[in-house]
Amino acid sequence: MGKRILVVDDDTGILEVLTEILCEYNFDVKAISQGELVFNEANAYHPDLILMDVMLSGMDGRNICKSLKADPQLNQIPVILLSANVNAYSVMFDQGAPNDFVAKPFDLDNLIQRIELQLAA
């Protein structure tokens, strides 16, 4: 089985599309739609990478990312944040920043390239 990716987005349509695409690239994908489940799923699933939307229902992916990066058990997992708000890119300069940021709508080839780059690091 391929590398494990935990995908977090409250839009089930995007979750389905990302899951299908990533599986075609031989990634093992776990998709969740609730930000509050990230820590439980990360501890249980042991992903090689987390791909997460910034704007989640009732939660902010940037804050979840900061908490992940502060957790000694999970801080080595690369996090790529996705957002339709290109101003969210500024999070790349904050403490607890994600490993990468991809603007929505994303170019599929670019997204896969960025995922593979993080997994190779």
The domain containing residue 46 runs over which residues? 4-120
d(CA 38, CA 68): 9
Domains contained in the chain, number? 1
pLDDT tens digit string along 66-99?
999 999 999 999 999 998 876 655 555 666 789 9
Instruction: Kindly report the pTM of this predicted structure.
Output: 0.92
d(CA 72, CA 60): 21
Spatial CA neighbour of 15 closest among 82, 107, 87, 110 = 82
CATH number of the domain enclosing 50 = 3.40.50.2300
pLDDT tens digit string along 6-46?
999 999 999 999 999 999 999 999 999 999 999 999 999 99
Measuring CA to CA, how many Å separate 43 from each of 13, 37, 46, 71, 120?
25, 10, 6, 11, 21
